[in-house]
Amino acid sequence: MKILLAPSETKKSGGEHPFTLDDLLFSSLSRDRKVILHRYINVLQKNDISQLGKMFGLKKESDILYHNRDIVNELTMKAIERYTGVAFDYLDYGNLSDESKKYIDNNVIIFSNLFGPIRADDLIPEYKLKQGEMIDDIKVDKFYKEHSANLLEEYLKDEEILDLRAIYYNKFYKPTREYTTLKFIKDGKVVSHWAKAYRGVVLRELAKSGADTIDDFMKLPIENLSIDEIIQKKSHREIIYSIV
C-alpha cells in the first residue's frame, strides 16, 4: 500500500546533507525538475519583492527576503521532517518508533509544489512556494501532471492507494486505478481545516500498526473516529468518518 500526502507551506529550517536532485523519487524526472528550479531561481535573482511575495504567498518584506536564497546549495533533511503543517504536527514523525518511521519512509509519497512527487525520506532543502502559484510562466501542477503522472501510474500499478491529499493535488496526479480517500464529518458537516489534523492522526496510526492493505487499515481502531459510510464510485472508494 502506498499513501499519497499533501505537503505544507510551512517548513522547518536547517539541515545536515547536501542537496542532490537526482536522488529524489524518479531520477528520470530530474531534467524536468531542473526546468522548474531554473525558473524558480531566475525569479529569486530578479529580486522583485512584489513578484517574490506573490510566489511565496508572503507580504512582510523581511519574510520575503529570508526566503530569497539559493536553495540548491542549502542543506537538506527528510521531506517528512521538513514540512511542519497541521497534518505533520499530528503525525509527530519525530516521536515514532524506528519501525514506524521506516513504514512512513517506505510508503508515503508527498506532492511537493516545487519538486513534484517525492518520497517521505527524500532529502530536500527549505523552500517557499504558495500552493497554486505559478513559477514565472509555468503552472506547476499542470507541469508535473504532464511529466510525472505516467511515472506514478507505473510505480503504483501493483499497489493499493490511500490518498490523504487535499483535492487540489488531483491537479498533479489522480489515480486511474482503484484508490481510497477519506472524508471527516462532525455534527453532520464536512470538516476542512481539522481534516488535516485527522489525516495526520490516521497516518500515525497506520505507521504504528504497519498496515499493509486498505482492509487492514479499515479495521484499525482510531481514537475519536468511527466509520460511518463507505461509498464506491467506479475506481474511487471514499471512507466517511464521523468524529465522535
Q: Give pLDDT tens digits for 208-218.
A: 999 999 999 99
* Burial zone of 221 (CB within 10 Å; 0-12 exposed, 13-18 middle, 19+ buried): exposed
pTM more than 0.85 = yes
Q: Give pLDDT tens digits for 54-71.
A: 999 999 999 999 999 999
| pLDDT recorded at residue 152 | 98
Q: Which residue has the cell 505559478?
A: 134
Q: Which of 96, 118, 100, 131 is nearest to 10 (CA)?
A: 131
Residue 203 pLDDT greater than 90, yes or no: yes
**What is the average per-residue pLDDT within 103-122?**
98
| pLDDT recorded at residue 18 | 96
DSSP for 56-74, written as a single string: HT---HHHHHHH-S-GGGS
Using the 8-state DSSP alphabet, how is residue 9 labeled? S
| pLDDT recorded at residue 225 | 95
- Helices 30-46, 140-155: axis angle to 10 degrees equals 160
β-strands 225-233, 236-243: how paired?
antiparallel
Dihedral (CA of 227, 8, 87, 119) sign: positive
β-strands 236-243, 123-125: how paired?
unpaired
126-150: burial string, b at 16+ Cβ within 10 Å, e else: bbbbeeeebbeeeebbebbbebbbe
Residue 169: which domain range? 2-243
User: What's the CA gap between 59 and 40, in Å, rounded?
Assistant: 18
Confidence grade of residue 194 (pLDDT, cut at 50, 70, 90): confident
Domain count for the chain: 1
User: What's the CA gap between 83 and 76, in Å, rounded?
Assistant: 12
